[in-house]
Chains A and B, each alone.
Chain A
Amino acid sequence: GAGVSQSPSNKVTEKGKDVELRCDPISGHTALYWYRQSLGQGLEFLIYFQGNSAPDKSGLPSDRFSAERTGGSVSTLTIQRTQQEDSAVYLCASSLLALNTEAFFGQGTRLTVV
């Protein structure tokens, strides 16, 4: 597609339920990033993919968070047993190569855990 696409744009879920967030990067971009943005906060790094592998998972806040990327394209971020503190905007970005190139962001998924 023309840009990074994220779905859903909004998600309201009950505490304890699992959610899956999807990111469709720009075609041909090998690097993909997930960030989390809480109200009034900057962007918190979650995970980075180069192709299908994730050399850096250091930002995942707990073992309830996992992510995968298949075919060097679409990525899903899964949050299990959601908690209220997981409420945030989850942003995905892709870039042609790893760093040193412009990262293009999707519009984000606003997750609300009630």
Chain B
Amino acid sequence: TQLLEQSPQFLSIQEGENLTVYCNSSSVFSSLQWYRQEPGEGPVLLVTVVTGGEVKKLKRLTFQFGDARKDSSLHITAAQPGDTGLYLCAGEGGNQFYFGTGTSLTVIP
């Protein structure tokens, strides 16, 4: 059962453009995490959001947790080639993190 749906699945943009990645679920999560994974590496945590409506900023990345704690978004401003990677959201539930299918981002110089 895929509890978290991410969109888009693939995204290819030019350097300097803005983008938003979405993570949606019908389930409520007590917290939600965003990870970035580069080829041949494990995912690396970017941020954890806990409170409904919470907004967190990490340099050019802005993360938002939906009011109902069922969805989240990641917005990147002025994307750079170094932002290229697989972005994964993960919701905490029970004894595990439920991961989304991921958004593969390519930023073209």
B96 within 8 A of partner (CB): yes
Main secondary structure of the interface of A (DSSP, over half): strand
Please name the residue on chain A nearest to B44 by beta carbon.
A105
The proximity string for A residues 45-68 relative to B, scoring 1 for CB distances below 8 Å and 0 otherwise, is 100100000011001000000000
Q: How many A-B contacts are there with CB distance less than 8 Å?
A: 54
* A96 contacts chain B at the CB level, 8 A cutoff: no
A105 with B42: in contact, given A41-B101, A42-B102, A43-B88 (CB under 8 Å)? yes
Q: Contact residue range for chain A?
A: 20 to 34
Interface residues of B (CB under 8 A from A): 2, 4, 6, 31, 40-45, 48, 88, 90, 92, 94-102
Contact of A98 among B2, B43, B95 (CB under 8 A): B95
The reply to whether A108 and B88 contact each other, CB–CB distance below 8 Å, is: no
A-B contact pairs, 12 of them (CB 8 A): A35-B99, A42-B88, A42-B100, A43-B90, A45-B97, A55-B95, A98-B95, A99-B95, A102-B48, A107-B42, A108-B41, A108-B42
